[in-house]
Structure 1
Amino acid sequence: MPVSHDTSFVETMPQNVAIQFLDRVAASGPREAFRFPRGEAWESVTWAQTGERVRRLAAGLLSLGLEPEQRVGIASSTRYEWILADLAVMCAAGATTTVYPSTGAEDTSYIVGDADCRIVFAEDAAQLEKLQSHRADLPNLGKVITFEDSAADGDWVITMDALAELGDSYLADHPDAIEAVSKEIRPDQLATLIYTSGTTGRPKGVRTLHKAWVFEGEAIKAQNILGEDDLQFLWLPMAHSFGKVLLSTQLACGFATAIDGRVEKIVDNLGVVKPTFMGAAPRIFEKAHARIVTMQAAEGGAKEKIFKKAFEVGTKVDELTMAGKSVPLPLKVQHRLFDKLVFSKVRDRFGGRVKFFISGSAALNAEIAQWFHAAGILILEGYGMTENAAGATVNHPDQYKIGTVGLPFPGTEVRIAEDGEVQLKGPHIMAGYHNRDEATAEAMTDDGWLRTGDKGEIDADGYLKITGRIKELFKTSGGKYIAPPAIEAKFKAICPYVSQFMVFGAERNFVVALITLDPDAIAGWAAENGMEGTSYTDLVRSDKVRAMVADYVDELNGQLNRWETIKKWELLDHDLTIESGELTPSLKVKRAVVESNNKDLIDSFYG
């Protein structure tokens, strides 16, 4: 089935997010909208129930005097209440301002102050404490609404239930308030300020309009990728545009979402929820791949041989099928057998019903995508950034190319500038950075295209391929260009124990790497190699682990051009984390921070 490029939906799409939501409630009232964990069980709510709760909360915000486009912060992890708060802000014509739960008190205060938030939803006592400790710096913050009742004081801080009760009183006097307000919201009205976690400097607030979020959801709907009978599992940070765009898609398509932001519970939850699709950052797929491969290696013997042979056959079948060639009967028979013995078990780890995963927020390793594909799991890579409301291109279940980020959304344009930069145009582009006119001017071209900062190319069929960040490309002192992401991705496909592999060498005469290992994977390795219970730091310092990693680096170097090879490397004594400030909340490496933290070590390679 060819992909639909019909753009007529742009003329008929809902005017704003509030109407998009209210229309969905009207169309799908009795159907399931959300399910979420309550203790050990999962609780389910319909669209009608969600609509009723959102109306009361939105009316509560109006009763507190919220005016159109005034900012309302949400400082919380991903959970059902986050969605309720966001939809209530949309239906009250406010603008949601996002704060990651991992953001420190100083940056939380900066974001809430820079956005001039009048109201903030705070998840619990920990988020509340950040606001209370900087209350003197936030004179315009009139009310905090907490998701957890124990944190409320009844004055400055009230509960969600108390807000809903304020809404009941308001609706008693203004029964049609929500419908009236939603009809007045213009498509070009501010809907969100999403603060980019930024790999450098202070976070910048991206001003995204109602029409951008509505467009994103409707553009996915127009491609017939998802329907009402699908079930999404959502764990992504809702403070990130990738999480928010999946909510827009849900409003447009009407499927149900199971929501739980606890990253450590993803695999367990997939087994229970059995979703038909999920969005994720590539790190999740890398970890799953490494876990399955290392578990098989630990079993050894015949089981490991069968496992390896299965992927050999699966890859061969894939190659023939993708080249449009027929699969010989003996190979077909083998493939069917391995599907039963091996691939079906891999699929069962993800619940057994997944039609596809959507990967975004960083580059997905093509070899890992191919490995999953051989097992019958399709990962559709997409591309975009916060500045264009998350989605610009995406592969389609019926039309995809592994190693590319797919075709442009219908109704959008993608071009490659003379220097190789990917540039975007369409209804999804931001209205600039909040209070940052200079940064806004830098982000746009003179003829109105968004500069992405990514280097890419478009193939003969229109598929976009991202080849790296323009700023990440570096030149050695010998004048050779190096693209770190390409080398780093290769190593992650080779070594199942790696967490991060970071390449450096700008203006130096050779390339070096800093490596961190995945704590879970290396603990498994240690148990099989007589080192059970050894601490992470002692493991990475041990000769055994260094020898094991050295073998993988040699294997990598065998696949690289001479000038790209890793001449020296070191294992760091800790894995990178959000808390250490070396990863963004969407799990991107803050390369400059890592480089600065390890300046002496990197310099010593060239001593």
Structure 2
Amino acid sequence: MAVDPCKRTSLHCLHHWAEHTPDAVYLSQPGPDGQVEDITWRQAADQVSRMAGYLEQLALPACSNIAILGRNSAHWILADLAIWAAGHVSVPLYPTLNGDTARYILEHCEARLLFLGKMDGSADGWHGIRDRLPADLPLVSLPLSPRDDVPQWRDIVARQAPAAARRPDPDSLATIVYTSGSTGQPKGVMHSFRTMISVADGLQQLFPVSREERMLSYLPLAHVAERAAVETQSLYYGFHLYFAHSLDTFQADLQRARPTLFFSVPRLWTKFYLGVNAKLPPSRQARLFRIPILGSLVKRKILRQLGLDHCRAALTGAAPLSAEIIAWYRNLGLELLEVYGMSENFGYSHANRPGQAKVGTVGMANPGVEHRIGAGGEIEVKSPGQMLGYYKNPDKTREDMTGDGFLRTGDMGEIDEDGCLRITGRVKDLFKTAKGKYVVPVPIENRFRHPQAEVVCVAGANQPQPCLMVLLSEDARRQLVQGGDRGALERELSQQLDTLNGTAEPHEKLAFLVVVKDPWTMENGMLTPTMKIRRNVIERAYQERMAEWAAVGRKVVWET
């Protein structure tokens, strides 16, 4: 790995671009009134330096942990940089956390100050968090913060003298990232400046990146995937970064950015796919796509309406995406590439290469990464982005690391003859039926493909046979409320169930399918902030009704 010596840390990168391209726009932040604030590299470095000066005046102990809570915004990134510029450690919190978890993290990391960013309680957990903040925790409000009774970012940088420029030691602690956690309390993953920046050169070898790129930041910056693929990359390569204001303006924000690189999760790729199919049914798409010239025009129009017509590298990660949806995007001309990583290696592990993608796998090990299959089929990885360890938890660090420095990922997988990794499930996802047979849920979930199914979950621990919980897409739910043909949809789901069971081992055949009534969201704890299912939460929510549903004796059960 050959990191540019002028860009040894993210803070080095900020000063590099402020010196070499001071008037180029770095960050574009839309506001609630539709106006967009553009922040140049010179302005970004100036604001960071002035906020660092303010933090230095507080005389906090060296390397204090300072938290950031808020949805993505330009000033979220500036706050991250200011914390480092003052010699401290940043601790990001997911804006969708519940109050108890937020308080746990703030107390566990002994946060000395909190930067409070963009929150309003509509798409985040502010209403549950605000009363759980420690009363003695100092706050600084970023622009778009819900608190105007504490020191404000804009006021501080307007009057504060800049701090002396700081260049951190690459091996010093930079951030503590608390995992979203599908079970138990979140763990604090410690990363140095070196582990964070090390991904930049490796990704450059996979997807050539330049200053001319554009990206839209909307997945939680509290997660390493967005921090690595968007924040760190934009700082290292000096390209323009855009932000989304809200869910309602997302499509307009995407159209404004016209990203050349786009990273998302299966939930959004599926939502785009279902949205296009609702307006242009697949049967009609197939007919139009077969017509010379017209087919190409229709495909380009679809990508343009999605805001992805300028996108030359599109990545998907955090959970599996069906081969059918990947093929659909590729048919449009957008090569969708699956990647794989974890909080513990700063998201830098595996990726499919452009022109060499192997559907059904997460690709080959990234440059500088070693991988192997350990005991019980568990994937083990050694990466330049490997964590320093878990904060205040050396026992867990030792448990998750092998003696020769590999991370035990908790994922099960296979490495094929081409060196491509296929994820087959989570070690802890396995469950036993009442017959004592183990069920591996993820491969079953990946084989269920219905265009109206947004998320699925195989459940049934200690039941005679497993079953499938299905959350319909928002469009499908709305159509049913408006009098759509439930019988037709039920027949289609039943046929899909038969197809799935036709290839399943006897103990993995699904006894029935349940169409759940209420959405699974981050707010109700069913999904992680990266929109992966929290299997234990979902199973706990429905387990008391399993026997009742099984007794109905129907293939498709509608939750009431």
Please report the TM-score for the alignment, with normalisation by the length of structure 1: 0.83
1:27 aligns with 2:20: yes
Q: Which amino acid aligns with 2:334?
A: I
1:235 maps to which of 218, 226, 235: 218
> What corresponds to 2:403 in structure 1?
446
1:333-364 CA-partner distances (Å, limit 9, x unpaired): x5644222x31222122222111211122222
Work out the CA distance in 1 between the residues paired with 2:130 and 2:474.
Answer: 35
1:558-577 CA-partner distances (Å, limit 9, x unpaired): 45455433221222221111
> What corresponds to 1:549 in structure 2?
493
Work out the CA distance in 1 between the residues paired with 2:179 and 2:207.
Answer: 30
Work out the CA distance in 2 between the residues paired with 1:504 and 1:149.
Answer: 40
1:579 maps to which of 523, 526, 536: 523
> What corresponds to 1:282 in structure 2?
266
1:18 maps to which of 11, 14, 21: 11
Residues 143 and 570 of structure 1, relative CA distance in 2, 3 Å threshold: closer
> What corresponds to 1:345 in structure 2?
301
> What corresponds to 1:416 in structure 2?
373
> What corresponds to 1:211 in structure 2?
194
Residues 253 and 401 of structure 1, relative CA distance in 2, 3 Å threshold: farther
Work out the CA distance in 2 between the residues paired with 1:380 and 1:192.
Answer: 28
1:262 maps to which of 224, 228, 246: 246
Residues 222 and 308 of structure 1, relative CA distance in 2, 3 Å threshold: closer
Checking the alignment, whether the CA contact within 8 Å between 1:499 and 1:575 is kept in structure 2 is no
1:271 maps to which of 241, 244, 255: 255
> Counterparts of 1:111-510 in structure 2 under 5 Å?
111-123=105-117, 124=119, 133-134=131-132, 137=134, 139=136, 141-148=137-144, 151-153=147-149, 157-165=150-158, 167-168=160-161, 171=162, 177-179=163-165, 181-182=166-167, 185-245=168-228, 246-260=230-244, 262-297=246-281, 305-309=283-287, 334=291, 336-340=293-297, 342-351=298-307, 352-476=309-433, 481-491=438-448, 494-506=449-461, 508-510=463-465
Checking the alignment, whether the CA contact within 8 Å between 1:146 and 1:152 is kept in structure 2 is no
Checking the alignment, whether the CA contact within 8 Å between 1:59 and 1:166 is kept in structure 2 is no
Q: Which amino acid aligns with 2:202?
A: A
Checking the alignment, whether the CA contact within 8 Å between 1:228 and 1:255 is kept in structure 2 is yes
Checking the alignment, whether the CA contact within 8 Å between 1:194 and 1:205 is kept in structure 2 is yes
Q: Which amino acid aligns with 1:210?
A: F
Work out the CA distance in 2 between the residues paired with 1:23 and 1:16.
Answer: 11
Checking the alignment, whether the CA contact within 8 Å between 1:217 and 1:250 is kept in structure 2 is no
> What corresponds to 1:75 in structure 2?
69
Checking the alignment, whether the CA contact within 8 Å between 1:235 and 1:262 is kept in structure 2 is no
- Per-residue deviation at 1:255? 1.5
Checking the alignment, whether the CA contact within 8 Å between 2:377 and 2:414 is kept in structure 1 is yes
Q: Which amino acid aligns with 2:56?
A: L
CA-based RMSD: 2.6
Work out the CA distance in 2 between the residues paired with 1:306 and 1:249.
Answer: 39
1:412-447 CA-partner distances (Å, limit 9, x unpaired): 222221422111113311111112222222111122
Residue correspondences, number: 544
- Per-residue deviation at 1:35? 1.2
> What corresponds to 1:63 in structure 2?
57
Alignment gaps of 5+ in structure 2:
552-560
SS of residue paired to 1:419: helix
1:131-167 CA-partner distances (Å, limit 9, x unpaired): 76346x565x3443343477233xxx21002332463
- Per-residue deviation at 1:73? 0.7
Q: Which amino acid aligns with 2:473?
A: D
> What corresponds to 2:558 in structure 1?
none
Residues 546 and 74 of structure 1, relative CA distance in 2, 3 Å threshold: same
- Per-residue deviation at 1:461? 2.6
> What corresponds to 2:99 in structure 1?
105
> What corresponds to 1:523 in structure 2?
478
> What corresponds to 1:326 in structure 2?
none
Residues 49 and 307 of structure 1, relative CA distance in 2, 3 Å threshold: same
Alignment gaps of 5+ in structure 1:
1-6, 172-176, 298-303, 314-333, 532-538
> What corresponds to 2:80 in structure 1?
86
SS of residue paired to 2:208: coil
SS of residue paired to 2:80: helix
Residues 10 and 560 of structure 1, relative CA distance in 2, 3 Å threshold: same
Q: Which amino acid aligns with 2:508?
A: E
User: Percent identity between the aligned chains?
Assistant: 29
Work out the CA distance in 2 between the residues paired with 1:428 and 1:159.
Answer: 34
- Which moves more between the two structures, 233-242 or 15-24? 15-24
- Which moves more between the two structures, 266-275 or 510-519? 266-275
Q: Which amino acid aligns with 1:32?
A: V
SS of residue paired to 1:381: strand
SS of residue paired to 1:213: helix
Work out the CA distance in 2 between the residues paired with 1:24 and 1:395.
Answer: 30
